[in-house]
Structure 1
């Protein structure tokens, strides 16, 4: 890359990364789990996990600047093709629960935009909700095979609008007391330090997977490392700027949630309806009625639709575009005349449909479904981050080969290995602890057991499925050889 192409400053890098990583849902979901004490949790997770994570990605991106497939390429360079296949499989398969949740993400904002409240799904039975979700997913699975360029562009715009709405929420909430001098804060004693201190017990550690999930995805930043004018200086400054921006938004956003919702009496539907209720309350404070809520609902709905379409295709392309015949059978790599990975779409459809249907056997209402699916994603999605830290540890093991890269996070390979190991262990710990259900066991033992069982089995089954494809690929090769011998 020549000098004229290296135009990004650290401010640009920080802003690009912030738009990739952050969203209002991160604030709402974690406030629903921890209340106002999540502010301290945000500060801790940023310091001990997010900053090293982002800087590790920077060094990997700099070391493997020509790698087009990201994490799987990093793993291949450091440990070989077989393990790289499992990294690519993991990256793809963790999107299955994410896709299974997206139909809810379309229905909920649609209800708020049409009715002005969150009761759209309240009266529906779980089989009906599941059927609606299946119809929405099937429709977009089919449309994705046609290529949805226009929708993806609109989705990009909606994503930017959501980003602006997330910042607007903080500004409007924090500024509300200036507009209404008599405004009563929902959470008592917000002027006392003790209000913000978490209780570091077992229950607390079961909630940290959502924090890890919220700050994850930094590997998307890697292509920008070598587009900065001076990677060794500009990129780390950009990542520190990112951490500061995320920290400010997380802390002020959580504080704003505390102003609007009592931390000691968190509504059961906060994960589902919290963001819409928040904008509705702020609209009333500022004399705008439901306007802010409707704008947020519509932009969120379009963003969710685009994310559903894009997340069906993009991870599949990463897995299968440059697939090695040694690990992935020919039938899965098959494309039709338009270049569509037909059987890849079918496999996606089967796995996602199974997860959409599964709640019928253990969950009775929509809030339980939203909580279960959100927590399941917080367990499964961070599993792809493990490969980032795995590659970084091996990069430090082979230090002499990569010591001349433009950007280094840690110049001491032994210390670098330890930091990579810390992030790996912390991520694994968060995923395992996240498997413990957050629901009250006494209130609904059957739902609690369903959540525990599915939280444990889902990630195991999804990853284990990846071991089947190399066996099928091996059989493919044997059949080909047999046919050639016959000829």
Structure 2
């Protein structure tokens, strides 16, 4: 009776699938895929990425979540249980270090959204000297570092509202774009050529060095791991939820690509790559407004959702990964004591200063780029090569879990077959690593230097901190 009552409180697999979908997916992924992969040619890559990478990745997350259902720390907790405390520190460090680049991009993205939200374009903003736009980005960034140091809790609610509204806008865009030709048949639409060669990509250097964009787009489902055991009958229903998630993301990516193809000619996009990377989503909503005779209404709604989302996510990205790193059990063993200092608002003040130096340095370095559009394009690429590095720890923890599975009890396994489990873990690890390494390449020398130097500095700092801690302890002894 108690079991039945307990089961009735658990969520349906459909609820989990929707939660995961809104966490993983966003309209920006559709735009980036369309821009970087030559229009409809991205569809082949999306399908392959979902079937051979996203599905096994999501199912591995399910098994790790079900095995360590009482672990609050997510990936770091899984690594701690399977590989030990030192590796857990490195996993936590990687997760935090990846956010250094992400934080820099939120300030830039927020200012761009603000320009669209107030003026309805970025013409004036893009014509400003790069030093001016980067100085403005730095001021915004420092202001939000101060906000994070005050420990203001309302931002989590703002981020959730903005995230939900952006998700709803992404779905509405697809529906409304397909309805547009019936409502306004005389507007200008591009016809989609369903010739086989328009869906098969050119497997060249540009293609291989852009794959990290797709890996970045489908990553992040480890955030839903705490909910594995909150689903009714997880061993049966969790894989159902993950399959539903994969299908929804795949359908959204394909339909979104077709919707973009009705609006934008890939040849024009390729000739103005930085402009479409920076402004593609706003241009799409602006064009949609014209089809519906409402001017820039949809673009303004999207812009203001994005402004709230970018700036609230900026604060959360300064605060949350830092708390995960410095508040973990491993912190006191591997991180110098000064970094663990809390201010009167309960914020890690010296940790925030470390973010100011690293992210602020990156913002300043980008003042050397030719214009604001190239800064945005460079940040998208740099994010796509650094953020997926944290997924490597998911696969490392999964391989380690299967090696010692007799030690752990679980309510769900991706597969009973050990060989298939190892194969899936190693395959996803290698794909992620290869895409991140290939993604570093850029024909632009400054972008290439930033793509190489940024990860090196962050890795070196992660290795130096435990050495400093050891030296301090040696002095005390």
Q: TM-score, normalised by structure 2?
A: 0.96
In the alignment, structure 1 residue 345 sits paired with structure 2 residue 352? yes
Q: 1:451-470 maps to which residues of 2 (within 5 A)?
A: 451-470=447-466
Q: List gaps (5 residues or longer) in structure 2.
A: none
Deviations 1:383-413, CA, capped at 9 Å, x for gaps: 00000000001111112223x4101011112
Q: Write the distance in 1 (CA, Å) between the matches of 2:328 and 2:382.
A: 29
Q: 1:392-471 maps to which residues of 2 (within 5 A)?
A: 392-402=398-408, 404-437=409-442, 441=443, 448-471=444-467
Question: In the alignment, what sits opposite 1:477?
Answer: 473
Which one has a larger percent helix, Structure 1 or Structure 2?
2
Deviations 1:97-138, CA, capped at 9 Å, x for gaps: 000111111111111111111214122101101100000000
1:57 alignment partner, one of 58, 61, 70: 61
Q: 1:300-311 maps to which residues of 2 (within 5 A)?
A: 300-311=306-317
In the alignment, structure 1 residue 281 sits paired with structure 2 residue 287? yes
CA spacing shift, 1:283–1:371, aligned 2, 3 Å: same
Deviations 1:312-349, CA, capped at 9 Å, x for gaps: 10000100112432211111111123322111111111
1:329 alignment partner, one of 319, 324, 336: 336
Equivalent pair of 1:189/1:195 in contact (CA under 8 Å) = no
Which SS does the other structure have where 1:411 is aligned? coil
Equivalent pair of 1:327/1:473 in contact (CA under 8 Å) = yes
CA spacing shift, 1:182–1:356, aligned 2, 3 Å: same
Q: 1:104-253 maps to which residues of 2 (within 5 A)?
A: 104-186=108-190, 189-253=192-256
2:95 alignment partner, one of 86, 91, 114: 91
Deviations 1:144-170, CA, capped at 9 Å, x for gaps: 111222232122111111111001110
Which SS does the other structure have where 1:384 is aligned? helix
Which SS does the other structure have where 1:406 is aligned? coil
Q: Write the distance in 2 (CA, Å) between the matches of 1:375 and 1:123.
A: 22
Shift of 1:240: 0.6
Which SS does the other structure have where 1:75 is aligned? helix
Q: TM-score, normalised by structure 1?
A: 0.94
Equivalent pair of 1:396/1:414 in contact (CA under 8 Å) = no
Q: Write the distance in 1 (CA, Å) between the matches of 2:126 and 2:343.
A: 42
Q: Write the distance in 2 (CA, Å) between the matches of 1:10 and 1:214.
A: 23
Q: Write the distance in 1 (CA, Å) between the matches of 2:8 and 2:396.
A: 31
Deviates more, 1:232-241 or 1:407-416: 407-416
In the alignment, structure 1 residue 69 sits paired with structure 2 residue 73? yes
Equivalent pair of 2:75/2:91 in contact (CA under 8 Å) = yes
Question: In the alignment, what sits opposite 1:261?
Answer: 264
2:376 alignment partner, one of 370, 382, 385: 370
Equivalent pair of 1:379/1:432 in contact (CA under 8 Å) = yes
Equivalent pair of 2:148/2:347 in contact (CA under 8 Å) = no
Q: Write the distance in 1 (CA, Å) between the matches of 2:255 and 2:52.
A: 20
Deviations 1:326-374, CA, capped at 9 Å, x for gaps: 211111111123322111111111110011011123x111111111111
Q: Write the distance in 2 (CA, Å) between the matches of 1:452 and 1:230.
A: 48
Question: In the alignment, what sits opposite 1:10?
Answer: 13
Q: Write the distance in 2 (CA, Å) between the matches of 1:176 and 1:108.
A: 27
Equivalent pair of 2:127/2:371 in contact (CA under 8 Å) = no
Question: In the alignment, what sits opposite 2:301?
Answer: 295
Question: In the alignment, what sits opposite 2:397?
Answer: 391
Q: List gaps (5 residues or longer) in structure 1.
A: 442-447, 482-487
Root-mean-square deviation (CA), in Å? 1.5
Shift of 1:4: 5.0
Shift of 1:184: 3.8
Deviates more, 1:112-121 or 1:240-249: 112-121
Shift of 1:205: 1.0
Deviates more, 1:85-94 or 1:35-44: 35-44
CA spacing shift, 1:5–1:462, aligned 2, 3 Å: farther
